[in-house]
């Protein structure tokens, strides 16, 4: 063939398959076929959409046929890379997936209700772990930036009541040295209610980070205070009612969705 053109019948089939007009296909081929002839990209597109075009391909020039092979090879390589990346993600997810224990009721000490409640608490515990620790990191980053690395001992930042409770927890930990430490900084020895108090007592520092968020710092502190009871209930391995679980997940989701905004302001 002295001149390569799109076969009208195949062009119509492709347009019907993707639900676009023929002119759209011509324009897209022109944009996408960089480094390749438009006809080669046309055949590649037909192949990707599963439209038979063997007879048409046999009529093409050898250099165009070679371009089609290259396009298909590149597509296959890209697909394999995507599959490999997806497999790596799945392996990572497996590593971090909490193993589900195969536990059956053993009456009277292990009733079915207890097993059911454990499953209900399991989901909430993950949200608790992420919620509480992300707030600790938040406080640590903000106050370190404002007051320096020794912010915990900076004047007027942490009230004496919280400092005393944390000192006691650290002392208890030293006595029970066989057990792993809770954290490397005092902030990891605080709970929901104490985290809320720290933010409220330093509202002048934290408020700018909540600009535009309804309630400013109370957006977070109110949630922490309301969830403190549920947090302590979980910490003492007691079951949460469904309404309490739903509230916990809702408040956690609210905080999670604001993290990008707050991260960008740090």
3-state secondary structure 129-152: HHHHHHHHHHHHHHHHHHHCCCHH
Same domain, 126 and 160: yes
Same domain, 126 and 184: yes
With respect to residue 158, please indicate whether it lies within any of the assigned structural domains. yes
Determine whether 202 is exposed, middle or buried from the number of CB atoms within 10 Å of its CB (0-12, 13-18, 19+). buried
Residue 47 CB neighbour total at 10 angstroms: 17
Q: Is the pTM of this model over 0.75?
A: no
With respect to residue 105, please indicate whether it lies within any of the assigned structural domains. no
Residue 237 CB neighbour total at 10 angstroms: 10
Same domain, 91 and 123: no
Same domain, 246 and 221: yes
Same domain, 180 and 142: yes
Same domain, 143 and 254: yes
Return the pLDDT at 2. Answer: 39
CA–CA separation, 49 and 28 (whole Å) = 15
List, in order, residues 6 or more apart from 121 with CB less than 8 Å away.
234, 237, 239, 240, 245
Same domain, 137 and 91: no
CA–CA separation, 5 and 17 (whole Å) = 20
With respect to residue 81, please indicate whether it lies within any of the assigned structural domains. yes
With respect to residue 2, please indicate whether it lies within any of the assigned structural domains. no
With respect to residue 177, please indicate whether it lies within any of the assigned structural domains. yes
Same domain, 218 and 152: yes
Same domain, 119 and 205: yes
The residue among 45, 41, 57, 56 whose CA lies nearest residue 20 is 45
The residue among 103, 190, 185 whose CA lies nearest residue 149 is 185
Same domain, 86 and 149: no
Residue 14 CB neighbour total at 10 angstroms: 21
Same domain, 132 and 65: no
CA–CA separation, 229 and 93 (whole Å) = 31
Same domain, 206 and 138: yes
With respect to residue 59, please indicate whether it lies within any of the assigned structural domains. yes
With respect to residue 147, please indicate whether it lies within any of the assigned structural domains. yes
Range of the domain at 32: 8-96
For residue 76, say if its preceding peptide bond is cis, omega within 30 degrees of 0. Answer: no
With respect to residue 117, please indicate whether it lies within any of the assigned structural domains. yes
Of 47, 67, 96, which one is at a domain's C-terminal end? 96
How many domains in the chain?
A: 2
Of 96, 130, 145, which one is at a domain's C-terminal end? 96
Of 46, 66, 96, which one is at a domain's C-terminal end? 96
Ordered per-residue pLDDT tens for the chain, 266 residues: 334 478 899 999 999 999 999 898 988 998 888 889 999 999 999 998 999 998 888 888 899 899 999 988 888 877 776 666 666 555 544 444 445 567 788 888 888 888 888 877 887 888 899 999 999 999 999 999 999 999 999 999 999 999 999 999 999 888 877 767 766 799 999 999 999 999 999 999 999 999 999 899 999 999 999 999 999 999 888 989 999 999 999 999 999 999 999 999 98
């Amino acid at each position: 063939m002295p001149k390569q053109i799109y076969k009208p019948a195949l062009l119509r089939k492709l347009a019907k398959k993707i639900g676009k007009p023929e002119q759209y296909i011509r324009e897209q081929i022109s944009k996408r076929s960089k480094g390749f002839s438009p006809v080669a990209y046309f055949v590649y597109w037909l192949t990707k959409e599963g439209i038979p075009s063997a007879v048409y391909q046999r009529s093409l020039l050898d250099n165009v046929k070679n371009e089609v092979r290259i396009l298909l090879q590149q597509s296959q390589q890209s697909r394999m890379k995507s599959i490999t990346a997806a497999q790596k993600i799945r392996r990572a997810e497996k590593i971090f997936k909490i193993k589900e224990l195969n536990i059956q009721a053993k009456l009277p000490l292990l009733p079915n209700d207890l097993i059911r409640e454990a499953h209900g608490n399991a989901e909430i515990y993950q949200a608790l772990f992420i919620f509480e620790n992300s707030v600790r990191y938040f406080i640590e980053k903000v106050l370190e930036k404002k007051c320096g690395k020794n912010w915990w001992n900076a004047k007027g930042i942490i009230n004496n009541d919280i400092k005393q409770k944390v000192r006691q927890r650290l002392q208890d930990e030293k006595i029970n040295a066989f057990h792993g430490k809770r954290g490397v900084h005092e902030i990891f020895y605080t709970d929901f209610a104490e985290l809320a108090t720290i933010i409220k007592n330093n509202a002048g520092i934290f408020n700018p980070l909540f600009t535009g968020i309804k309630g400013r710092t109370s957006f977070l502190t109110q949630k922490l205070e309301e969830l403190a009871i549920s947090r302590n209930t979980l910490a003492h391995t007691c079951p949460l009612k469904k309404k309490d679980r739903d509230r916990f997940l809702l408040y956690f989701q609210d905080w999670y969705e604001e993290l990008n905004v707050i991260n960008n302001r740090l």
